Structure 1
């Protein structure tokens, strides 16, 4: 049997005939004409190579083949109806679903714990997964349904993606406690003289700190460049290096925090999702939860 020829509508007719025991009654249940029911039955008979029903008096008696397939056919139809209904409604208390995120360690460490705690109360059967993915693969992963959300501090423009800002923070300088060069605080000269850890996913290129310094005709001393924020504290505590981190991450470490001695634009965080999920009820609900968690995010 060629699966490409299967029309689910035929099985809806099959179920109606089996239940009603009559083509006429089945037509009434389905709100279609009796010839339409007869035509659908003929197509199904040809596809399954079985008469399916034989006339006995004024009723249609199912054949052994019909009796064998009625249960799985009804289960398939029920599953399809349930899926269609759930696409228009979403009950977080009963929903069983997993959402896939692609977020850097910065957001994983700050947003994810709060989001998981919230979900435990509102949606106990919903789980989330976070993994790294190259930016070049984000759109294709979302289109394939393998990725629900991509969050980043940088802008990402693509006609297939929707975007929403969900949080904002400020950059601060982080150093080990009792740093010998910072007894009197952090001024611009000291900032430029000390060695820096620069966190960036790119191998080279200027970030917001470097752009702000460049406008002043200044340049910092980059000693180490890494991809992950969470490796910074363990390096700083063992050296005289400093690093610029978002405040909401820096405040969690037992290290000294200093305001930057020059103006730097705030760090803005965006979440992205595929346009095909924009009106999905489950997806909309999750976006609301992310925004609610982020609304309690205090950068000071």
Structure 2
């Protein structure tokens, strides 16, 4: 094989098809046509003298040759990206760049209000976008560059090309309106169970973490409402005698009374994820530093005392 004639763009396509297992999805994340993906795949098959992927239902399953090739291919692409990035600098004060995130509103409500004031003073032309990408698609979106970062709990355990860093953590507390007649500065378990609660159910496959913790204790809250959006909860609390278990740092943003839960509260972890290909990119390194600084007071939240 004449190495000088190898088109590196073919390996970008190879990575996308391997990650998505789907030609249409690969074409979407690469922003090229599906025929272009098929043409690149045909050239790769000729190069390797192997089909590389075989169709199994709606999935393109990799062959043993593809499985052996993906590691070196990704490493080559990473080294190329690192080499290019090493010769770049990032001037935050004059940079005009948009960082794309995927995170739920429980993370957005905690991160963006703390991050933006830093950016406004240091990088006035840096913009932030957040749009929810299904968890099963986040890894491929990070690999393709569609996303720069994802913020989530523990995830992507089997994705070696996904970098991660625990930027912050929080704990749940019981929140209620000011002067709530049944919520003192501390509350017993029996009193807690007698209250009428608001729950947060954003995903049936990801139940409320407080509910999980209580089920382990053989307990159940008296949940009157299950909300899909975190920001609805403070409005409900301020207009009723309902209570809710919410993250401590979220509660602090509103004129709410709060007290510790009468059992060990679950931890809420804020883990930042990004793709290995941009690990050394100056702009990404800078943004990770800003995120870490913005939420540094949240890292020890589980140890805070009233």
Normalising by the residue count of structure 1, what TM-score does the alignment of the two structures yield? Answer: 0.66
Unaligned residue ranges in structure 1 (runs of 5+): 8-82
Unaligned residue ranges in structure 2 (runs of 5+): 8-82
C-alpha contact (below 8 Å) 1:99/1:128 kept by paired residues: yes
1:158-209 C-alpha deviation (Å, 9 max, x unpaired): 3331111000111100112232333584210111122221113222664432
Q: Within 1, Cα distance between the matches of 2:290 and 2:142?
A: 20
1:45 is aligned to none
C-alpha contact (below 8 Å) 1:87/1:281 kept by paired residues: no
Q: CA deviation at 1:277?
A: 1.2
Q: Pick closer, same or farther for the CA change 1:217–1:107 going to 2, 3 Å.
A: closer
2:302 is the alignment partner of 1:295? no
C-alpha contact (below 8 Å) 1:208/1:264 kept by paired residues: no
Q: Within 1, Cα distance between the matches of 2:203 and 2:146?
A: 24
Q: CA deviation at 1:225?
A: 1.6
Q: Within 1, Cα distance between the matches of 2:200 and 2:169?
A: 18
RMSD: 2.6
1:114 is aligned to 114
Q: Which has the larger radius of gyration?
A: 1
1:10 is aligned to none
2:286 is aligned to 285
2:67 is the alignment partner of 1:89? no
2:212 is the alignment partner of 1:211? yes
Which is worse superposed, 195-204 or 267-276?
A: 195-204
Q: Within 1, Cα distance between the matches of 2:234 and 2:93?
A: 39
1:159 is aligned to 160
C-alpha contact (below 8 Å) 2:150/2:274 kept by paired residues: yes
C-alpha contact (below 8 Å) 1:87/1:280 kept by paired residues: no
1:92-130 C-alpha deviation (Å, 9 max, x unpaired): 223221111122223322321332221222223221112
1:21-73 C-alpha deviation (Å, 9 max, x unpaired): xxxxxxxxxxxxxxxxxxxxxxxxxxxxxxxxxxxxxxxxxxxxxxxxxxxxx
Q: CA deviation at 1:87?
A: 5.4
2:233 is the alignment partner of 1:232? yes
Q: CA deviation at 1:259?
A: 0.7
1:132 is aligned to 132
Q: Within 2, Cα distance between the matches of 1:239 and 1:197?
A: 11
Q: Within 1, Cα distance between the matches of 2:125 and 2:185?
A: 52
